[in-house]
Structure 1
Amino acid sequence: MVGSPETSRAQAAPSARAAIKGWGRRMNERWPHRRLIQFAGGHDWGVQAAAEVIASRTPQRPVWLSNAPLPDAIPMAKAQQLLGGECDLLVMDLWSGLDADALGASVGSLRGGGLLLLLTPRLADWPHWIDPEAARIAVHPHSAAEVGTRFIARLARLLQSSAAVIHIDGSDTETAIDAVVALTVGEWQQRQRPTLDPTRPATPDQAQAVAAIRALVSARARRPLVLTADRGRGKSAALGIAAGEAILQHRARIIVTAPRRSAVEPLFAHAQATLRAASASEAEPLLSFAAPDALLADSSAPDLLMIDEAAGIPAPLLEQLLMRYPRICFATTVHGYEGTGRGFELRFRALLEQRTPGWRALHLKTPIRWRQDDALEQLIDQILLLDAEPAADARIAATDLASARFAIRSPETLANDEALLRQLFGLLVLGHYQTRPNDLRHLLDGPNLEVATLSVGAEANVGSNVGVNVGADIDMSDLVLATALIAREGTLASELLQPIFEGRRRPRGHLLPQTLSAHAGLAEAPELGYARIVRIAVHPAARRRGLGRRLVGELATRARRDGLDLLGASFGASAELLAFWRRCGLAPLHLGTRRNTASGAHAAVVLQALSPAGEALVAHARTRLGDDLPSLLSGPLQAVEPSLVAALLQELPQRETIGGADDQRQIDAFADAHRSFEAALPALERLVRAQLVAHQAGIQGGLEAEQRDLLISSLLQRRAAEVVIRERGLSGRGELLQRLRAAIGALRDCQQDHQRISNTQASAPRA
């Protein structure tokens, strides 16, 4: 236990004091570094040591993160509330649990000259200790003790080797004393930190961003701005200052949106400061917040739409906003706690090129809260792989993709091969906008998870790198071309079947069997064994080459060999993703009735049978889908995209036909512009359902996708005419009726063509 502050100061050697003061003077010459101090020892000792440091730096108010009942401590799960804020003293009690998301979120709020105090067990003991957060990683029937500790072992190794960390061991009192003295020298951090004006840009690139955002208000329409930055570069501040200036100069009406209201608090604070500085508080109502989905129903026309943390908003929703609002600024974090911006940048760029080729990009490089070469930023990036990138495109382009080999990568290999881990996790970040720091811990320590790759060996790759500079910057690890994260699920005890079906039990870590039982009505689903593909990603330079299909095929072969019944996945559904999984042999057999709050999409379940029991479940799922879909389409799935409905219709058993000659007369009368839509509705619905189920794959030549979607939304989903007219940009009911007649006519022709083909085949002599 550390002694009193007076005793500590009395025991410090004069020479140590002089050296520390000299270090402090040198640091005064520039913006000060942020520092990390690790108190590795008993919990009570660490809390007392942290209290001494805090007492030496008054009047700075500390921010405590802990799941323990400490005074004024913020629970780890609520660390997101620190995003956008600033502090000078941050204490993280890792004795109460290591939450990687909380670590990434909180460190970004620490200003230059600030201190991060980590309270941990001793480094040698930490990997052998059952972390309280392990309970969140454990899946049924595993306990917290069965969760791996590779993430913590890697963290301890990186902390031990980093020059950015001051290590204080609970058994080394003199080291602790010296560190406390070092932190009390003159409070030079407070004296030397520049005072930033919240109404003015702090860096040249931030000033450039403010000017570009402000210019959007009067610029030509359909030329969106994409603003990217790492954490701490003043992205939200630039948006806020620009908003305030645009209101002052043009009385512009600006709407701000983001995944959550709290994410844009700094934006509003800077805008309001800019307005107050000009004594223009009455203009503040011109700046407002709206949730992303609410914007689509908003009939107003603001002068500018600002989307902050755009990578956290589903791409289909962003596309609708892009086409709905003529002047728009997208802003997002590239590297940081959100962990999504890099993938957003790659995926969204193609959409912008297609829809708005005159778009502009700006990137903020200079940090505002800390120094350019901040050692703590570099360390946290390394620990959480916030800056992880896949292999360079040039290396992939010079590789023989046909030589790629399939492998299951053990967690031990990944934890000890930093270059391989960075490639692999970089691919996951690019491919999935929801990838977060905690996913890294799950990847290394999850008891039911495996990591698969398609890769090319480093030696073979280097030999084929004709024209590529292979130097010291090229690592010698395998080149990862594609990767997948797989979870083993199911094979649950029979006594759990009814409670899961009734929604009374939700064993952790069994997403597919629980979804199929509790939501799709397949009570027997949890008894079977599943390999769920949690994430899959292919290197951007190797896409459209069949690697994704090959990787899924290898996973199916392995799962079948291991005696599992089904290969599956669950994801935010889109027509593109459903098409990919269908090419891989997995059919969509369930669509969630509610949109996921994170993805904004309905969750689809796709399955491939690997055993007779799996085939029986798939057949049951198809039957249930056919029974339930008509009611769901006119109810909770009424607003789902028609292209997704079409994909589900392909899986229905063919059993619907039109009602004979009477139906045919009504169909003909409607298509030929005689009979009303309402009078012919039952016959038209039977035609659409029968033909889209029976001949979905073969009607593309006669029925356009736009016509198919119009029939689904009007006849199967029963959307109101006003809704269909607005969604499709039609002039009114007359044009809607005209298009419906044309679509029914095309579908009728498909029906007749298929009937003729069937009759011809039936009458042909057999060999």
Structure 2
Amino acid sequence: MKYSHPESLARFAVEIRNSGYRGLAVVHSNRLQWLLNTTAEVLDGNCIAVAPQSLAVPRRCRPGSPGGFERLLGSEADYVIIATDGLLRPNLVAGLAGVVSSGGMLVIMAPPLHEWNPGPSGGVGGYRRYLLSSLREARVLLWADADTGEVYAYQPPRGRAHEWLLGPRGYEPRFGAPRRLLGLAATPSQAEALDRFSLYLDAGYRSFLVTGDRGRGKSYLLGLAVALAVKRGAAGEAVAVAPSPASLASFYKGLIRGLRVLGLRYRIRRVGGDVVAVTGPWGRIAYAAPDDAKPTGLLVVDEAAAVGVARLRRLAWKSGRVLAATTIHGYEGSGRVFQHMVEDVLPKPLERVELREPIRYPPGDPLEDWVNRVFVLKPEPDYPAPASVDECRVEQLEPRSLAEQPEAVRRLVQLLALAHYRTEPDYLLVILESRNHILHALVCGGSLAAAADVALEEWGLEEPARIALKILWLQADSAAKELKAARIVRIAVHPELQRRGLGRKLLSAVEDWARGKGVDIVAALFGRHDVIGFWVKTGYTLFYVSPRYNKATGEKNLGFAKPLTPKGAEVLTNASRRARRKLVLGAHSTYRDLAAEKTAILLRATQPLHDAPIVLEQLDHKALNTYMEGVVELEQVIDSAYLATASALLAGCEDRLDDRSLVALVARILQGKPIGETAEILGASVEEAQALLREALKALIGCRRSRTQRRSP
């Protein structure tokens, strides 16, 4: 078969359109502008073209840039063309593939095959080998060179898609949703979810969670649901939270259609072409960015991953009702792990629904299958756990050798995705192109049981590649510039094998490997607070708590480390003491929004100061004695109590307290929370909390006095 451009591409497009499926075409040429122009001329349908500034996008295609492609994700097109003169980011391909509609095609245009490096400059070339070997896995594919006519692969569609029609398809309401509103549902599972939302409104539940893979119409369904809430008088002043107004296009589309079919009056407010609010005599539904959102009567969260678990918790618990969506698999997907985290933080009772059918393309679509597999958009391990963990070995995998094993790459990414709230396709570039990342795999019985992504850091590397050393330098002193560090980027154990010591076994092997590389300190930076216990139990020390919340996770990033050399130990001790100072002295301001229980755990994970920089005057001791004797209440000596608590905790006197007592002191004295809120945190009455505080403060003062006397000459 000889390829003739553009006729061969046009014939392939017709084959795909007749099948009802979607396909992939990869065409190479030295004349990318000619390739782009001629392709746009022969493809029959609307198109989107994403190209670098050096190429002019044909007028008949909607233009986009590689750096701003996410603004196109809410769009739909028969053909999406990605033209590149080099780098082809996994995010770009995985994201834009979802824009292609049924019977359409994703077209990638690139330089001649022997010249093309789709990976970043300066990389090791692993991504190129991985991508080219993965192309042949596409079930509907045309891969050719327009200059030479050579065809590298040709896989036409096999058969036609089964009958696939949008709409509720005869769904009969069971819970009172209006039939005319159900008629707007794009799929049966959308209709069922909308019907269950009607039950949710009647039952007085707090939270309604919509889950599903990408392209299932979750945002659109939320819009229909809010329209029903308006009809029932349950909306009022509502807020829709999303990264940008453009992200809410489908939500507002569903809302406006729903209001119209229900006969409700409304007005639309736009900014820059995007809908930012819909108002009416019934109230208002307005857009809010995650950073600006405030609790409200009805809170709508279009994509929970974009808000983060901690921020979602704060907004949800102070709002009346919550409607949220989270993507399981697909470009925006966060996996089942994140779904369970969302379910845990949403107010109860909670109603959860899952949308099953795609709305842009038929089930079993070849392009969706290929993108999901190659860019690992289903981030849970799909392979069985090892039958036995008695005989295990640890292997170090270099990017060059790993790239030759596509299935091994995918299994590693699936497993490592468990260590992060969301793994973007671009993570492939990290593990296949980086010169300072080494993957460590714990293999048991020939099967992958656990994995760690470890980055070697030295001060001479560019800043993104020495993040742990930079934080240690900022927290401690210039001695950090002399260190060599190994940073645990991610570490994960197969879900069926967790809590069996495999994580510790792998971490210990990584530490031994790091010693052999002359590493001074092993560090880990993360934003998922549910793993704090793992690092504390494995002997790691806290050296950093970020002052601001991570915008992605909604949690404060933490840094834990273990020294391997005396130099590393000295730097870590200084950095950890600095972290303790910030936690104690910043508890009333920067860290006031950190849960008191969490602050208490983190304090125990830091190094104490030998000379606490706080001295109590004689009047402070007198005031505290009157409080201990019950003559006055805490509020009358709060200044002295604060100085005493801060001084004692800086010196490490928390070891004299049980967890409950420490939490009480952190909440009431360091963070300045009211006694009622402190009692609520403790699960106690106000009287019990007051008594606990008095005894805890007495223990701290006694500890501080004894340690001061021991150091006195």
TM-score after normalising by structure 2: 0.83
632-641 or 237-246, which deviates more: 632-641
Aligned to 1:266: 250
For 2:204, the equivalent position in structure 1 comes to 220
The 1:679–1:416 alpha-carbon spacing in structure 2 relative to 1, beyond 3 Å, is same
Give the aligned partner of residue 619 of structure 1.
Answer: 573
Counterpart residue number, 1:745: 694
Match of 2:220 in 1: 237
RMSD: 4.0
Change (3 A) 1:84 1:215: farther
Which of 534, 541, 559 aligns to 1:605? It is: 559
Q: Which residue of 1 aligns with 2:438?
A: 450
Distance 1:388 1:745 in 2: 50
1:614, distance to aligned residue in structure 2 (A): 0.6
Distance 2:344 2:580 in 1: 37
Matched, 1:510 2:474: no
Indicate the residue corresponding to 1:415 in structure 2: 403
Determine the C-alpha separation between the residues in 1 that align with 2:580 and 2:305.
36
In structure 2, the CA distance between the partners of 1:554 and 1:261, relative to structure 1 (3 Å rule), is farther
CA–CA distance in 1 between the matches of 2:597 and 2:23?
Answer: 53
Structure 2 equivalent of residue 112 of structure 1: 102
Are residues 1:685 and 2:642 paired? Answer: yes
Find the residue that maps to 1:217 and give its secondary structure.
helix
1:160 aligned to which of 136, 140, 156: 136
2:460, 2:573 → 1: CA distance? 21
The CA distance in 2 between the partners of 1:173 and 1:148, in whole Å, is 30
3-state SS in 1 of match to 2:477: coil
Q: Percent identity?
A: 23
Shift of 1:748: 3.7
Distance in structure 1 (CA, Å) of the matches to 2:620 and 2:265: 66
Pair 1:342 & 2:310 matched: no
Secondary structure at 1:603 match in 2: strand
Match of 2:113 in 1: 123
CA contact (8 A) 2:240 2:301 kept: yes
Cα pair 1:343 1:432 within 8 Å, conserved? no
Partner of 1:496: none
Contact 2:485/2:523 (8 A) holds in 1? yes
Paired residue for 1:93? 83
Q: 1:410 to 1:4 in 2, by over 3 A?
A: closer
* Counterpart residue number, 2:484: 529
Match in the other structure for 1:37:
25
In structure 2, the residue matched to 1:79 is 69
Contact 1:528 1:614 in 2 (8 A): yes
Letter in 2 for 1:545: R
1:166-187 deviation digits (Å, cap 9, x = unpaired): 12312344979x99xx99xxxx
1:202-601 to structure 2, matched below 5 A, reads 202-222=186-206, 224-250=207-233, 252-253=235-236, 254-282=238-266, 284-285=278-279, 286-292=284-290, 294-295=292-293, 297-298=294-295, 300-302=296-298, 305-325=299-319, 327-348=321-342, 356=348, 359-390=350-381, 392=383, 395-396=384-385, 399-458=387-446, 478=447, 480-492=448-460, 507-517=463-473, 519-520=474-475, 522-572=477-527, 574=529, 576-601=530-555
Q: 1:364 is matched by which residue type in structure 2?
A: L
When residues 542 and 746 of structure 1 are mapped into structure 2, their CA distance, relative to the original with a 3 A threshold, is farther
8 Å contact 2:3–2:146 — kept in the other structure?
no
Q: Which range moves more in the overlay, 417-426 or 371-380?
A: 417-426
TM-score of the pair, normalised by structure 1: 0.77
Aligned to 1:51: 37
CA contact (8 A) 1:409 1:450 kept: yes
- Deviation for aligned residue 1:434: 2.8
Q: Is the 8 A contact 1:339 1:433 kept in 2?
A: no
Aligned position for 1:708: 662
Taking the TM superposition and a 5 Å limit, the aligned residue runs for 1:756-767 are: none
Q: Residues of 2 paired with 1:161 and 1:634: CA distance?
A: 57
> Which residue pairs with 2:124 in the alignment?
148
**Structure 1's 63 and 749: CA in aligned 2 closer, same or farther, altered over 3 A?**
same
Q: Is the 8 A contact 1:672 1:741 kept in 2?
A: no
The Cα offsets for residues 398-440 of structure 1, whole Å up to 9 and x where unpaired, read as: 7333433222123244323333323221122233113110012
Over residues 508-528 of structure 1, what are the superposed CA-to-partner deviations in whole Å (9 max), with x where a residue is unaligned?
3111112233x4252332321
Return the alpha-carbon distance in structure 2 between the equivalents of residues 174 and 611 of structure 1.
58
Query: 1: CA distance between counterparts of 2:434 and 2:476?
Result: 29
In terms of fraction of residues, the more strand-rich structure is: 2
Output the CA distance in 1 between the equivalents of 2:53 and 2:666: 50
Letter aligned with residue 443 of structure 2: S
Q: Separation in 2 of the partners of 1:591 and 1:251?
A: 41
Change in 2 beyond 3 A, CA 1:403/1:757: farther
Residue identity in the other structure for 2:50: W
Note if contact 2:420-2:528 (Cα within 8 Å) is conserved in structure 1.
Answer: no
Distance of 2:440 and 2:108 partners within structure 1: 34
Alignment of 1:653 with 2:653, yes or no, is no
Q: Tell me which amino acid in the other structure corresponds to 1:314.
A: G
Summarize the Cα distance change of 1:430–1:515 in structure 2 as closer, same or farther, 3 Å threshold: same
- Distance in structure 2 (CA, Å) of the matches to 1:155 and 1:553: 33
Q: Partners in 2 of 1:690 and 1:316 — Cα distance?
A: 30
Deviation at 1:160, TM superposition (A): 3.3
CA 1:708–1:220: 2 relative to 1, 3 Å: same
Following the alignment from structure 1 to structure 2, what is the Cα–Cα distance between the partners of residues 214 and 728?
Answer: 38
Per-residue deviation at 1:116?
1.4
Q: Secondary structure at the match of 1:372?
A: coil
Aligned length: 668
Secondary structure at the counterpart of residue 475 of structure 2: coil
Match among 52, 59, 63 for residue 66 of structure 1:
52
1:613 Cα shift?
Answer: 1.1
Would you say the 8 A contact 1:229–1:335 is kept in 2?
yes
Deviation at 1:630, TM superposition (A): 5.2
Q: CA 1:317 to 1:539, structure 2 compared with 1: closer, same or farther past 3 Å?
A: farther
Q: Which residue of 1 aligns with 2:271?
A: none
Amino acid corresponding to residue 301 of structure 1 in structure 2: G
Aligned residue type for 2:483: L
Contact kept, 8 Å, 1:63 with 1:87, in 2: the verdict is: no
Structure with more of its chain in helix, by fraction: 1
* Residues 65 and 79 in structure 1, CA contact (< 8 A), matched pair in contact too: no
- Cα deviation 1:251-294 (Å, max 9, x = unaligned): 53343323544322211122112223445233742323334465
**What amino acid is aligned across from residue 683 of structure 1 in structure 2?**
S
Aligned partners of 2:472 and 2:572 also within 8 Å: no
The verdict on how the C-alpha distance between 1:4 and 1:491 changes in structure 2, with shifts beyond 3 A counting, is closer
For the pair 1:694 / 2:694, whether they are aligned, the reply is no
Do the aligned partners of residues 379 and 625 (structure 1) sit closer, same or farther apart at CA in structure 2, a change above 3 Å counting? closer
Structure 1 residues 360 and 4, CA, compared in 2 at 3 Å: closer, same or farther? closer
